[in-house]
Structure 1
Amino acid sequence: MQTDAGRPLYRAAQVRELDKRTIAAGIEGFALMQRAAMAAYRGMRQRWPAARHLSVLCGAGNNAGDGYVIAALAALDGLQVQLYSLRDPASLEGDAGRAVTMARQAGVSFSAWQPQAALDGDLIVDALLGTGLAGEVREPFVSAIAAINASKRPVLSVDIPSGLSADTGAVLGSAVRASLTITFIADKLGLQTGAGLACCGELQFESLGIASLDHGDIEPAAWRLGVEAALPPRAPDSHKGDFGHVLVIGGAPGFGGAALLASQTAARLGAGKVSLATAPEHVTASLARCPEVMVHGIHSANDLGELLNAATVLVVGPGLGVGAWGQAMLRVALDAGKPMVLDADALTLLVSRWPMLRREDWMLTPHPGEAARLLESSGAEVQADRPAAARALVDRYGGVVVLKGSGSLVDDGNGLAVCPFGNPGMASGGMGDALSGMLGALVAQGLTLPAAAQLGVVVHARAADQAAAAGGERGLLAGDLASYARRLINGRTDDARDTSG
């Protein structure tokens, strides 16, 4: 999969292999640990320069070793250090054991963790569990994580928030909610999707001088999409016929709003023409909302013929309904042989009416609940391994899949891309409808399905970030995104505060 400028993401086992190769190439393991701890300590001091008292919690293995070295650096820097050990420091061997010795020599004293222990620091360092965690968190780590989260104090997580899966972004029973996470060697897939974004807080990547892409046999598990979100300027002699024709099919009787949103965002993202096929009762509302959209009142699927012939791409599903009207619309659309973006009710109908259908010329855009229906599983199972769910959807249905949610995923069967943008204000009705319209517009303008999916999720999420920066997250509406998305697709960020970069 080709992506915009971003960075590669890896699974935990791949990062361990990179670490192993670096050591084999001549960098001593403890020197690499010190390099990581110094990067974390430097980032911590830059973020919280006034901090004078640290509470450091250390588990076992190299993640704990990083914590002991950070404690030593802090003590040598004149900070007061409270250190809790969740594993007997005397039991730590190798580089982690050397880190324990370093902390002792710096004058740091250790206390064994007890569930009732007090965290006295004005800043907490989480070095409990690293990327090797496979099963659910157990005691005494459960109580330590609970105490960190209950402290309401700023938290630095070393490499990964304890309890988070580095591969899937799922919380393994319980996980630290960090203010800042500083991750090392290579960025991890699980930090960028699912619960990863919420658990990490601000994420800072430190390569420690290791160029992961130099190891060509270790293929990234995914790519983090970059901030670039503009299409090239248009030729001076362009006309509307050069930029495609989107046909939005949706808005069953009584459900007109979703299709109107999709149509408007398709127009704002630059489709040359946008038509809306909807129930007749919604025609007046569409004309009032966006007269540039050519709206058609559709009584039955027989009315779609000429519209389908004229369209470049179909967007089917917003407000479609699952009754007879919606079923008939989707059936005729599927027979039209045109590229398609399927969302919302179209996905529900796909499972119930065409469960064996597979195509390469469509894009499916489910949220986790819809993905669960498509895979005959549960939302919890989807969220437990979002990358695997995205791949399973492509394997079963073909085409390109956009698995929406925190850290939306794009999978085209050749690779996985992750969108790191977006905010909680997007948890409101109509956001998916706005996205489907944007995706249709990009396909209409000649982008391939994978390229349209990648660009579309970035524009959608960054538009939401800009809208939230301007007016706040609460009360953010899907209709607010269109004007910001228009600026982004034209490469314009002036006069709009952009905090998503």
Structure 2
Amino acid sequence: MLSQPISPTTTQDSIRLYSAEQSKQLDQTAIHQHAIPSLLLMKRAAWFSWQVIQQQTPNIDKIIILCGTGNNGGDGFMIAQYAKLAGLETTVYLYGAEDKIANDAKQTYREWQAIHGLTLPLETLDANEADQHTLIVDALFGTGLTRKLKPSLVKILKKLAHTDAAVCAVDIPSGLQTDSGLILGYALPADFTCTFITHKFGFYCQQGPDVCGEIFFSDLNLSSKAPEVFGEVPQLAHSHSLKHWSQQLGKRTSASHKGIQGSALLLGGNHSMLGAIQLAAGAAIKSGCGLCKVISRSEHLAIITGQQPEIMSYHDANSEALIQQASAVGIGPGLGTDEWAQNLFRHSLHKPQQTPLVIDADALNLLLEHSSWQKQDNIVYTPHLGEAARLLECTVEEIQQDRVVAIKSLQQKYGGIFILKGNGTLIFDGENLELCRAGNPGMAIGGMGDVLTGTITALLAQGLTPFSAACLGVNLHAGAADRIAQQKGQVGLLPSELGLVYSKLLADSITTAKSRSSF
């Protein structure tokens, strides 16, 4: 058994994410430029997988390994050897012709045969063979898969998915597209995935989290034996934890006061949309800004302050002066698109050059009507898929096919910092691409975007750079939703609850001076 436990990637503070092509380049660089035998890498991958299998499924007595004819199958043949030598009932099912087994996979296949291993055609597999004491190892396809799985294969995998057996995916669940996180027809959902050399981008976005289960990563000793390999191929994106981004806020001193903590101004809340601006303002005041001001419809002002006395509410006649005074401005929650909304939007465009601005919701739609719009580095845009599609004049499906291309196109067209919301929210400033690993399906409810707008505006007011405020805001927002979901489940998760746990999430990284408070 293991000398020490192997931890999943959720415990890692920072990871670099790679595309399928970049992963291939790293693999080839290690083999051809640093003289690391490809067969050695294959055996290291299999050994790491076998260690994780022992840790995650200690009570199995039977293992069924589904192998393809490529390198992914080669990993499977090697895992089969370890399992058989450990005394488990081990059967390999081959998908494809034996004479198609290529390169190093051919060597590990021969070794499997040499220990009298049983290999059968995959189409002969009876799903009834798998029970709660069985582990199924998916070693069919690797990261290079681009076509949909054949219907005959899908039929077999679906039957296996309905058994009580645990499932381990080798490098990537077969059927998951590495670069997009989309499913190519079908993917057998794994309880855990053992992945090697690179963290794959598609694991953490769209449908990837649904089929990967817990993710266990090994760089196969490349970082210690050939660390320069990772400097020779650039990553696609980074993914840092909430802890990393929350440190950008720094420590509050004993002399802190509301003026230092900044003034956040939020514009919105048109007729019938009071709740949106209330949510945004409530999140802002709980995100640490010294002052939170709101411009809304006159009939809403008393209600806003009555609900949250710390929030100051104003008539739109004060908008120009308040925008000039604010440390940061956020516009969009419940804004609408009528003449009142358009006037507020025009005023927001005339903010001081140095004042950061967050543009969300209907303000993004109004943006399309302003052909004279000029790019500014300190504007944060927060579109959901539909809004992003309108901004790029394409379909939601086209956005989802390649979210990286989409967010880069948005930033190139409009400038500033873009947040492309969704499972695996992306943040891009023209150079740095960040992916948020936090969040859950319970966040699929109206008002979540309003809370995010208020949160980011408040962080900007406190002096964070637009990129840091965007990254911290997204991670804080998603992390709060995860904390609440852990406590009471995802169904019924309310946007208004998120701000209530912000201070608890930030407590580990932001230390308030233990002395008399300043007012």
Aligned equivalents of 1:361, 1:232: Cα separation in 2? 21
Is 1:118 the equivalent of 2:118?
no
Residue 359 of structure 1 corresponds to which residue in structure 2? 376
Give the partner amino acid of 1:206: S
1:456-477 per-position Cα deviation (integer Å, ceiling 9, x unaligned) = 1111111111111222211111
Q: Does 1:324 align with 2:339?
A: yes
How far off is 1:446 after superposition? 0.8
What's 1:108 paired with?
Answer: 117
Q: How does 1:218-229 map to 2 (within 5 A)?
A: 218-228=233-243, 229=246
1:3-152 matches, within 5 Å, as 5-24=13-32, 25-114=34-123, 117-118=126-127, 120-121=129-130, 122-151=134-163
Which residue of 383, 386, 389 corresponds with 1:372?
389
TM-score norm. by structure 2 comes to 0.89
- CA–CA distance in 2 between the matches of 1:256 and 1:354? 29
| Alignment partner of 1:483 out of 478, 481, 500 | 500
- Give the deviation of 1:293 after TM superposition: 0.7
Q: 1:356 Cα shift?
A: 5.9
One-letter amino acid of the structure 2 residue matched with residue 286 of structure 1: I
Say which SS state the counterpart of residue 114 (structure 1) adopts.
Answer: helix
1:499 aligns with none
- The answer to whether the Cα contact below 8 Å between 2:145 and 2:175 also exists between their aligned partners in 1 is yes
* Structure 2 unpaired stretches of 5+: 1-11, 512-519
- Give the CA deviation at 1:116: 7.7
**Shift of residue 170, structure 1, vs aligned partner:** 2.0
Q: Distance in 2 between matches of 1:274 and 1:444?
A: 10
Structure 1 residue 117, shift from structure 2 partner: 4.1
Residues 289 and 108 of structure 1: is their aligned pair in 2 closer, same or farther, counting only changes over 3 Å?
farther
Q: Give the alignment's TM-score, normalised by structure 1.
A: 0.92
- Alignment partner of 2:92: what SS? strand
Contact 1:362 1:449 in 2 (8 A): yes
Q: 2:214 is matched with which residue?
A: 202
Question: Is the aligned partner of 1:164 residue 2:181?
Answer: no
Cα deviation 1:95-128 (Å, max 9, x = unaligned): 1111211222233212212288425233221111
Cα shift readout 1:206-231 (whole Å, capped 9, x = no counterpart):
11111286232311111011241343
Return the offset for 1:47: 0.9
Aligned to 1:214: 228
1:361-395 deviations in whole A, cap 9, x for unaligned?
Answer: 21111112221111111111111111111111111
Structure 1 position 286, deviation (Å) = 1.3
Assess if the C-alpha contact under 8 Å between 2:266 and 2:294 holds in 1: yes
Instruction: Find the aligned partners of 2:472 and 2:454 in 1 and give their Cα distance.
Output: 13
Q: 1:351–1:98: structure 2 CA closer, same or farther, 3 Å change rule?
A: same
Q: C-alpha distance in 2, partners of 1:115/1:12?
A: 31
C-alpha separation in 2, matches of 1:452 and 1:473 = 26
Tell whether 2:366 aligns with 1:349. yes
> d(CA) in 2 for partners of 1:357 and 1:331?
13
In the alignment, the residues of structure 2 paired with residue 492 and residue 119 of structure 1 have an alpha-carbon distance, to the nearest angstrom, of 51
Match for residue 460 of structure 1 among 477, 486, 499: 477
Q: CA RMSD in A?
A: 2.2
Which of the residues 129, 151, 166 maps onto 1:154?
166
Report the Cα offset of residue 493 of structure 1: 11
Matches of 1:441 and 1:287 in 2, distance apart?
A: 18
Counterpart for residue 238 of structure 1: 256
**Partner AA of 1:182 in structure 2:** C
The alignment partner of 1:241 has SS state of coil
CA contact (8 A) 2:176 2:183 kept: yes
Q: Is the 8 A contact 2:18 2:198 kept in 1?
A: yes
| Partner Cα distance (2:61, 2:196) in 1 | 25
Q: Which runs of 5+ in 1 are unaligned?
A: 495-501
Cα displacement string for residues 398-419 of structure 1 (whole angstroms, at most 9, x for unaligned residues): 1001111111111111021111
Instruction: State the secondary structure of the residue aligned to 1:69.
Output: helix
Of the structure 1 ranges 24-33 and 456-465, higher mean CA displacement relative to structure 2 is found in: 24-33
Amino acid at match of 1:214: E
Identity of aligned residues (%): 37
Residues 436-475 of structure 1: pairs in structure 2 closer than 5 A? 436-475=453-492
Matched, 1:311 2:326: yes
1:276-425 aligned at under 5 Å gives the runs 276-298=294-316, 302-337=317-352, 338-354=355-371, 357-425=374-442
- Cα deviation digits, residues 252-271 of structure 1 (max 9, x gap): 01101111111111111111
Task: Kindly state the Cα deviation for residue 325 of structure 1 after the two structures are TM-superposed.
Answer: 2.1
Offset of residue 489 of structure 1: 2.8
The corresponding residue for 1:497 is: none
Confirm or deny: 8 A CA contact 2:283 2:454 kept in the other structure: yes
SS at match of 1:442: helix
Q: Is the 8 A contact 1:85 1:110 kept in 2?
A: yes
Contact 2:127–2:163 (Cα < 8 Å) also in 1? no
Q: Deviations over 1:54-84 (max 9, x none)?
A: 2221122111111111122212211122322
Distance 1:115 1:307 in 2: 73
- Is the CA contact (8 Å cut-off) linking 1:233 and 1:490 kept in structure 2? no
Q: Is the 8 A contact 1:86 1:140 kept in 2?
A: no
| 1:173 equivalenced with 2:182 (yes/no) | no
Q: Which residue is equivalent to 2:517?
A: none
CA contact (8 A) 1:330 1:346 kept: yes
| Deviation readout 1:273-316 (Å, 9 max, x if unpaired) | 11011112222321232110111233xxx441221111111111
